[in-house]
Structure 1
């Protein structure tokens, strides 16, 4: 009888510990918590960058301990995750590895200033645009340089121009005849440093980012070509990327984005521009 009683007591204790250790779903022991893993370059202000100190608005970078992601992309991703009832995880990745990481399952989505170009659409599906307005490109030059008074593409004949590797900021340079198209560099930061050092006459930038860049490099001007004489772009604007077969997540993202008003998007961009200018 004592043996039977001991066995019954042991079973009760085991059941008690099992119940305490289970997650949100008592039947399976699995947690109901949902995480949205987002790939970000963290080097493209005002869309995204990294910081060494936590703040009320930035997000820890899961694969870069002690650093935090900030910028417009990050704030939009936070709103999307909140709308989905998910926890946001930011994964820092090199620009040219974002879509590969997405398709390998390392991240669920990409929020990284990425446009829905024909090339990108070969590797991923894209959400609706989440920036305040369509993307336009221009050329940033030194204020005291030879091309400060340029107004149209033809004014850059003979100039050396630089873009970011693997992006439209590089490939559109070939739309201007007679320029010296320099080998692309990895990051926007490298482009700005090259312009500042005088090793390039100009760099192609997203006009939406111009204010933030000029806050860091005030001795520059931005050439915004006329609408009928500017760069021809094969995309609509900055969007979130997901795997092509992940239609459910794409729907969730688009539903969340639809809840973010134009005014709220502009406020977030203005804040990101201000923060980026203080870096």
Structure 2
């Protein structure tokens, strides 16, 4: 990992951001995905060919990597609808959510049919490099480390990391990170939500868990004193778990860089395609992004 901060990296790499106001959260999960294919020489050769042809994958089917368990960004359902795409490696299952709607717009602009490939968040970048998927649309943010292995688009929505505690917690009135000295804190594996925890002085940094629902389970079950969470997803979390609250940290007393953009990613060496994807994303207005987000929040699973 380099010493670049996330925000500095975004500036240096030319990745733009779009601030989007408030949103809601509700978790969703389904059956475990079937195993994706292992890396083969043909996958590697295919990835190189894609870079030379200026297309993603075979130019017909867009394989979109995601968890399908991170509502409202992406989740799994059992029935097809106008807002879903099939999950290629889970029989009879479909993916919906904000990432899915963006992937559909990208696929339409490229003249391709999108399918989701469900896998753990931490496996996405390697699967992209190995040619098992063509693009990541999964609530993933660009980092200096990830950018060594994949190329990232401009953001198509922007979030922020906040801290959440129980209403009756001794940390409920905290106003700065140092107030959490010695606290036990939990975040999601392979995300900013986990990375930022180490900024808390003398924190008891729990081993991160794989999904957002498991993070919420941690605070609800008393496994931890606090969790890191999505600001955009916070309102519905608090609606569904009224015993929880956001910690209001004073300006300059929180995380050094809580920004958490949502960027798509493709295999390296596809500069022409990266530019095309940025054009497609730029063509989605702020009003449309907000409307899509709100629609996803309204229909996400209970």
**TM-score normalised to structure 2 length:** 0.76
- Which one of 152, 165, 169 corresponds to residue 141 of structure 1? 165
Determine the C-alpha separation between the residues in 2 that align with 1:150 and 1:175: 15
Determine the C-alpha separation between the residues in 1 that align with 2:207 and 2:165: 17
Determine the C-alpha separation between the residues in 2 that align with 1:234 and 1:194: 21
Is 1:97 matched up with 2:123? yes
Task: Give the alignment of 1:162-201 within 5 angstroms.
Answer: 162-201=186-225
Determine the C-alpha separation between the residues in 2 that align with 1:81 and 1:70: 15
After superposition, the C-alpha distances for 1:239-259 in whole angstroms (9 at most, x for unaligned) are 001111122321221111111
- Which one of 278, 284, 298 corresponds to residue 260 of structure 1? 284
Structure 1: tracts of 5 or more residues without a match: 1-31
Change (3 A) 1:149 1:275: farther
After superposition, the C-alpha distances for 1:69-110 in whole angstroms (9 at most, x for unaligned) are 111111111111112221111111111110011011111110
Determine the C-alpha separation between the residues in 1 that align with 2:287 and 2:176: 32
Structure (1 or 2) with the greater helix fraction:
1
* Larger Rg over CA atoms: 1
Change (3 A) 1:184 1:203: same
Is 1:151 matched up with 2:167? no
After superposition, the C-alpha distances for 1:37-82 in whole angstroms (9 at most, x for unaligned) are 1101112221111122333312221111121111111111111111
* Preserved CA contact (<8 Å) 2:161 2:260: no
Q: Measure how far apart 1:235 and its partner are.
A: 6.7
Determine the C-alpha separation between the residues in 2 that align with 1:250 and 1:100: 18
Q: Measure how far apart 1:231 and its partner are.
A: 1.4
The equivalent of 1:204 in structure 2 is 228
Determine the C-alpha separation between the residues in 2 that align with 1:54 and 1:194: 32
Determine the C-alpha separation between the residues in 2 that align with 1:67 and 1:270: 23
Determine the C-alpha separation between the residues in 1 that align with 2:174 and 2:298: 27
- Paired residue secondary structure (1:240): strand
Determine the C-alpha separation between the residues in 2 that align with 1:54 and 1:214: 29
Q: Measure how far apart 1:233 and its partner are.
A: 3.0
Change (3 A) 1:227 1:129: farther
The equivalent of 1:69 in structure 2 is 95
**TM-score normalised to structure 1 length:** 0.82
* Preserved CA contact (<8 Å) 2:182 2:204: yes
Q: Measure how far apart 1:217 and its partner are.
A: 2.1
The equivalent of 1:129 in structure 2 is 155
Is 1:232 matched up with 2:256? yes
Change (3 A) 1:236 1:222: closer
* Preserved CA contact (<8 Å) 2:160 2:260: no
Determine the C-alpha separation between the residues in 2 that align with 1:234 and 1:217: 23
Q: Measure how far apart 1:160 and its partner are.
A: 0.7
The equivalent of 2:141 in structure 1 is 115
Determine the C-alpha separation between the residues in 2 that align with 1:214 and 1:65: 34
Change (3 A) 1:236 1:184: closer
The equivalent of 1:58 in structure 2 is 84
After superposition, the C-alpha distances for 1:13-52 in whole angstroms (9 at most, x for unaligned) are xxxxxxxxxxxxxxxxxxx972211101112221111122
- Which one of 98, 104, 107 corresponds to residue 81 of structure 1? 107
After superposition, the C-alpha distances for 1:114-144 in whole angstroms (9 at most, x for unaligned) are 101112111111001100xx33211111122
Question: CA RMSD for the aligned pairs?
Answer: 1.9
- Paired residue secondary structure (1:62): coil
Determine the C-alpha separation between the residues in 2 that align with 1:227 and 1:35: 46
- Which one of 60, 65, 75 corresponds to residue 49 of structure 1? 75
